[in-house]
Structure 1
Amino acid sequence: MVSGADQLRAVARAEAYSSRAAWAEAATTWEHVVAANPVNGDHWERLAQARFHLADFAGALAALEQVLVLGVSATREDTVAPGELRYRVAWCHAELGDTDQAVAALCDAVASGYRDVAGLADDERFRKVCGHPRFRELLGSVPRAGLGRDDGWRTNLEALADEIRRRAPRPAPTLDVEALVAAVPRLSDARIVVELTKLVAQLDDGHGFVEVPAGDPELSLLLPVQFSLFPEGLFVVAATPEHQDLLGAEVERFDGREVAEVLDALGPLVNKDNEYGARERIVQVLRRVPILHALDLTHAPDRVTLGLWAPDRRSTDVTLSATPGAWAQRNELPAPPGWLSFSDTSTDRPPLYLRNCEAFYWFEHLPEQRAVYFQFNTIRDHPHESIEAFARRLFEFIDRHEIERLVVDLRWNGGGNNMLVRPLLNGLTGSRRINRRGSLFVVIGRRTFSAGQYVATAIEAGTDAIFVGEPTGSRPNFVGETTPFRLPHRGIRVNVSDVHWQNSWPFDHRRWIAPELYAPPTFACLRAGRDPAMEAITGVWAALPH
């Protein structure tokens, strides 16, 4: 038996060869590794990779068959993505001239959720099998481009229903596509987009979406303002420079219809994990005038008259023209490029949470409170400082300055790559100075979503943090993944999640992580330049001994 030390040294050598693309040496060394430890699927996968690069497809196939039995850890998404391993098995068979086996493996890959079915038609790896009857049958589900208007929309509806059934981790609801297909000639294009959106919104999938192409002259028309929902009502929080006089106005009507009626009508179109996430997404749907018009909520598809309470408390009607743009799922923060936000004009010095919300991550020392405020807005590595390097700098600062309190602000964190966040979580759980009741506070809100939700769930499980703000925009356990595909007619872009993330206990069926200190955002606080979450935290600090 190979000693433990020799096994570890062999793995290190094999990894070094693979990282340098020294594939012959890598293959030989990985063979030694799997001989000593045949039960680790990750090692077999690395052996398959090396053999692929050496064009040893028979050897790669043998290694992949072991991987399919043993599985791999989630270290590389290109390996663990649905159907990916079976796709590679099919590739090996194709290179070896085993046409029947290649097509059978491709069918297995598609049945397992392989994401790029449309791409198989032009995949050079399978040019040798493209004439096989089962291959043509497999691609028969790939929609044809260049169809007429009615046939194009019918194909879109059928293709979307097929992808929902194939991708959705949970059993898909009843999809009444046949009635919609029959109704296509009677429906406007915008109304069909509404129906496509409803199909995806049924999935209880906050990552789901239907988007028209940016700049589509008919379907992509957007109002030149951003809205936000507060307990007091719906307000304009960002606008183009020519409409900056509307910043801070309360919206009461859309073409004479009360805001509550409009929101109720749009509810079935909103993809969400919970009701708080819906509050963030629905305000973007309010900007899509062709969609409002298709639902008979407005008089025209390209303009809306808003009934407003202006900031000076005058009641006024303002007609806004919509212009082609790119649909977004959430408001851009603090405002889209070239626009103005309400906080830009309402106060000379915005509160901390609004100062750098477009930054990836940053922190500020609060010396009087012996605290650090850390805002974590996206889980992506910044080109100039990775999350790992930032976490190291943050905790070195905390130790060097004898910091007693840390605020982690996740209220703007809409996600990213949760594989990058482990150094930060390790720092939080391992800090004796910070990981104590009353020393660690986490601010959450409706935009805490996806990988941001994962971070909140991990902090809740591993620390004594006190959560502050409003509920998160997602669940501890949720369906979510962004792997969009395009429907052939009109270039409609769709996302249907194909992964269930169990970040908490299997029996954790909460709709959100709830704050212990409930301090929701209000328009009154925004107007006054106050942060109710930080006020709640500093109130606790004032009441507790150092």
Structure 2
Amino acid sequence: MALQGFAQENGSATQWQEDLRFFQNTIHEDYPFLFVKTSPEAFDGEVEALYAEIPNLQEHEIIVGISRLAASFKYGHTHLSFWQKPVEFAQFPYNLYAFEDGIYIEGTHKNYPEAVGAKVLAVAGTPIAEALQAIEPTVPAENAQYFKAYGINNLRYPEILHAQKLTQSLQNTVTLKLEKNGRVFNQTFKALPKGNSIPTHRGFVTPDATWLSARDQDTTPLYLQQLDQVYFEEFLADEQAMYVRHSRIQDEPGESTRDFYARVLEEVVAKDAEKLIIDLRLNGGGNNYLNKDVIKELLKTEHINQIGKLFVIIGKRTFSACQNLVNELDNYTNVIFVGEPTAENLNFWGDNRPLTLPNSGVSISVSYLWWQDKPALENAEWMAPNLPVAMTFEEYRTNQDPVLEAALAFDKPDFKPKPMDYVKELYFSGQTHKLAEELPRMIQDPLYAFCDFETELLKQGNLLLQSGREPQIQAAIQVFSTVLNLFPDSANAYKHLGESYIAIGNEKEAKQVLLKAVALDPDGVGIAAQELLAEI
């Protein structure tokens, strides 16, 4: 059954076009700094395409089109909410969740008991991977983790399914192809009345008489306990470990963040805890200025601020002010991160303010504050865990927690959570023989799979090359040659080595290595290598 929707009347279309121009001009005049991951030209091109289409579009298609423009900046704080009153999209009654082994219906309305806990294979006849690709432009995804945590449920909006051409018209029903207990079947869902939403908390359905959860409710794992509290702690006597779940960067009424951590760390010392595990996997941010209270208390507690004793669980919902906390933990403590990468870039545009379109009243949240906890050269799409662990659906359903278990079981006293710092320390201290032994060993060690040694070494070589001084360029040649010894098929290393030889006037060697870059990657790095060859 189709929901009601009409193409715009001329006057209404003109008003939407005026709103679009207002948005475009305001971005250029007041927020030009957001042009980092997209260009002004690309943005304007999308604006013009939407402007021309508006007379032929239904209202929800225009709104989704504007949401795509906001999402194109790829900063999670810059977005158009589909829950606001002027928009108020309908929702299909299912909550999707991305587990290690696929997309599942984590929760749904009681009218669809067979669907709860089923793996999603297709949406409206489109395979799930293609359906996710279709809605991705509507999500302000800073990285793939943000999309998994905060974006995939755009598949429950009928208006988005239509605007992104997953359905041919605006429908109040959708059929999902599902798999459960070895059986593949179709389930048709009817949209909730507008204004009604799915009761979720920290990404999971809150089960009650109307809503079903796929998780066994007989027990509750620590990371889901007391979710009504900002933070809580439990001492695990058998493991001699203190567990803290911290799910929002804000003060709990009755006990501030500073007082909570002071009390917990006093208990850590009093009980001679061997480990402190802080769980931030569900923490979506809050008040950045409270982070220093956490860091200060940890720095005062030398008993636990040691490699192998302090663990922090991160994941795909770790975002915003919590990303800042993660950055500061990485900067100042001896933390080992466990779990999945975070949903935020290390440095990012955050803290949004509303930009209200004058005719429609639609509000767009636009970022205006730059947060930088890391040097520009160390910026990355996320904080990666030192111990990567992801949860399968069955582990979630049966209340297992492989992430916490990995932290509790970890016992590697010689582990280097920042392997590149260790490599640089050996290099600059002149311990070349030890470096020659340690670097190949670490590259082969699965424990260091989280570190992209090739990319990180190339970064260090480029820093030396860009100095323009011959001693540093010679050092860069040494670094790039080392990369090639370790990664003989690295086209990037050959290209950068060629640039280094050009910089010192050795054109003969430059030609040889640049030709190897072309041979290894003719359609990628090889193109830049060809350009360098043409200049010689």
Question: Equivalent residue for 1:173?
Answer: 40
Would you say the 8 A contact 1:169–1:479 is kept in 2? no
Structure 1 position 296, deviation (Å)? 2.0
Which of 420, 424, 427 pairs up with 2:290?
420
In 1, Cα distance between equivalents of 2:235 and 2:344: 30
Q: Where does residue 524 of structure 2 map in the other structure?
A: none
Structure 2: which 5+ runs fail to align?
1-9, 415-536
Matched, 1:362 2:232: yes
CA distance in structure 2 between the aligned counterparts of 1:369 and 1:491, rounded to whole angstroms: 55
In structure 2, what is the Cα distance between the partners aligned to 1:314 and 1:387? 48
Query: What residue in structure 2 maps to residue 85 of structure 1?
Result: none
Match of residue 356, structure 2, among 486, 494, 508: 486
Which of 91, 97, 103 is the equivalent residue of 1:222?
Answer: 91
Q: Over residues 460-497 of structure 1, what are the superposed CA-to-partner deviations in whole Å (9 max), with x where a residue is unaligned?
A: 11111111001111121111113223223443221111
Determine if contact 2:243/2:278 at 8 Å carries over to the other structure: yes
Report how far residue 184 of structure 1 moved: 1.2
Distance verdict in 2 for CA 1:400–1:331, change over 3 Å: closer
- Kept in 1, the 8 Å contact 2:279–2:312? The answer is yes
**C-alpha contact 1:150 1:184 (8 A) present in aligned 2:** yes
Task: Say whether residues 1:505 and 2:372 are aligned partners.
Answer: no
Q: Give the 3 Å change call, closer, same or farther, for CA 531–417 of structure 1 in structure 2.
A: same
Q: Distance in 1 between matches of 2:372 and 2:357?
A: 30
Alignment of 1:94-133 (within 5 A): none
1:449 to 301, 307, 319: 319
Equivalent in the alignment of 2:405: 535
TM-score, length of structure 1 as denominator length: 0.68
Give the Cα–Cα distance (whole angstroms) in 2 for the partners of residues 240 and 535 of structure 1. 32
Contact 1:436 1:465 (C-alpha < 8 Å) held by counterparts: yes
Measure, in 2, the Cα distance between the counterparts of 1:194 and 1:434. Answer: 49
Q: How far off is 1:331 after superposition?
A: 6.8
Q: Secondary structure at the match of 1:273?
A: coil
Deviates more, 1:435-444 or 1:290-299: 290-299
- In structure 1, the residue matched to 2:133 is 264
Q: Which amino acid aligns with 1:497?
A: S
Contact 2:229 2:252 in 1 (8 A): no
- Per the TM alignment, residue 410 of structure 1 is displaced from its structure 2 partner at its CA by 0.7
The amino acid across from 1:243 in the alignment is Y
Change (3 A) 1:184 1:247: same
Partners of 1:279 and 1:213 lie apart in 2 by 19
Q: Which residue of 1 aligns with 2:15?
A: 152
The match for 2:77 is 207
Measure the CA separation in 2 of the matches of 1:184 and 1:440: 55
- Deviations, residues 47-75 of structure 1 (Å, cap 9, x unaligned): xxxxxxxxxxxxxxxxxxxxxxxxxxxxx
Q: What displacement does 1:168 show?
A: 4.7
CA gap 1:340/1:389 in 2 versus in 1, 3 angstroms: farther
Equivalent residues of 1:221, 1:325 under 8 A apart: yes
**C-alpha separation in 2, matches of 1:436 and 1:208:** 38
Q: Does 1:284 align with 2:153?
A: yes
| Pair 1:531–1:205, CA change in 2 (3 A) | same
Report the alpha carbon displacement of residue 397 of structure 1 after superposing the two structures with TM. Answer: 1.9
- Which residue of structure 2 aligns with residue 249 of structure 1? 118
Residue of structure 2 equivalent to 1:430: 300
Distance 2:293 2:56 in 1: 56
Q: Is the 8 A contact 1:212 1:491 kept in 2?
A: no
Q: 1:148 to 1:391 in 2, by over 3 A?
A: farther
Structure 2: distance between partners of 1:416 and 1:239: 28
Q: What is residue 474 of structure 1 aligned with on the other side? A: 344
Which residue among 185, 196, 199 is the counterpart of 1:316? 185
Give the structure 2 partner of residue 34 of structure 1.
none
Letter in 1 for 2:138: L
Q: Which residue of 1 aligns with 2:222?
A: 352
Match of 2:332 among 448, 462, 468: 462
Write the distance in 2 (CA, Å) between the matches of 1:470 and 1:430.
28
Deviations 1:63-88 (A, max 9, x none): xxxxxxxxxxxxxxxxxxxxxxxxxx
- Which residue is 2:244 aligned to? 374
Shift of 1:522: 1.6
String of CA shifts for 1:243-285, please: whole Å, max 9, x gaps.
3442211111112111111111112221022111111122221
CA–CA separation in structure 1 for the residues paired with 2:352 and 2:197: 16
Normalising by structure 2, what TM-score? 0.69
Amino acid corresponding to residue 352 of structure 1 in structure 2 = L
The two structures, once aligned, show a CA RMSD in angstroms of: 2.4
Shift of 1:375: 0.8
Residues in 1 aligned to 2:59 and 2:201: alpha-carbon distance in whole angstroms: 25
> Which one-letter code corresponds to 2:163 in the other structure?
A
Change (3 A) 1:340 1:428: farther
Partners of 2:229 and 2:390 lie apart in 1 by 22
Q: Is the 8 A contact 2:120 2:176 kept in 1?
A: yes
Match of 1:21 in 2: none
Partner amino acid for 1:313? G
| Distance (Å, rounded) in 1 between the aligned partners of 2:148 and 2:265 | 35
Calculate percent identity across the aligned residue pairs: 31
Of 532-541 and 426-435, the range deviating more from structure 2? 532-541
Q: Distance between the aligned counterparts of 1:259 and 1:331, measured in 2?
A: 24
Give the CA deviation at 1:318.
1.3
Q: Does the CA-based 8 Å contact 1:334-1:358 persist in structure 2? A: no
**Is 1:227–1:238's contact at 8 Å kept on the other side of the alignment?**
yes
Aligned residue type for 1:173: P
CA shift at 1:210, angstroms?
A: 0.8
Asked whether 1:297 is paired with 2:161, we answer no
Aligned partners of 1:290, 1:350: CA distance in 2, in Å? 35
Q: 1:245 to 1:357 in 2, by over 3 A?
A: farther
Cα distance 1:322–1:332, how it changes in 2: closer, same or farther (>3 A)? farther
Matched residue type, 1:155: E
1:95-131 alpha-carbon deviations (Å, 9 max, x no partner): xxxxxxxxxxxxxxxxxxxxxxxxxxxxxxxxxxxxx
- Residue 215 (structure 1) shift: 6.1
Of stretches 228-237 and 432-441 in structure 1, the one that deviates more from structure 2 is 228-237
- Map Cα deviations across residues 358-382 of structure 1 (whole Å, 9 max, x no partner): 4311111111211111011001122
CA distance in 2, matches of 1:183, 1:488: 20
Residue 223 of structure 1, CA deviation:
0.9
Tell me which amino acid in the other structure corresponds to 2:311: F
Q: Distance in 1 between matches of 2:105 and 2:371?
A: 35
Structure 1 segment 60-99 matched on structure 2, within 5 A: none
Indicate how the Cα distance of structure 1 residues 251 and 358 shifts in structure 2: closer, same or farther if over 3 A, else same.
farther
Residues 337 and 200 of structure 1: CA distance in aligned 2, closer, same or farther (over 3 Å): farther
1:197 pairs with one of 53, 57, 67: 67
| Residue 235, structure 1, aligned to residue 104, structure 2 | yes
Cα distance in 2, alignment partners of residues 465 and 485 from structure 1: 39
Count of residues paired in the alignment: 394
Distance in 2 of aligned mates of 1:262 and 1:371: 43
Displacement, 1:341? Answer: 5.6
Q: Corresponding residue for 2:27? A: 164
Distance of 1:163 and 1:532 partners within structure 2: 47
Asked if 2 retains the 8 angstrom alpha-carbon contact of 1:214 and 1:326, the reply is no
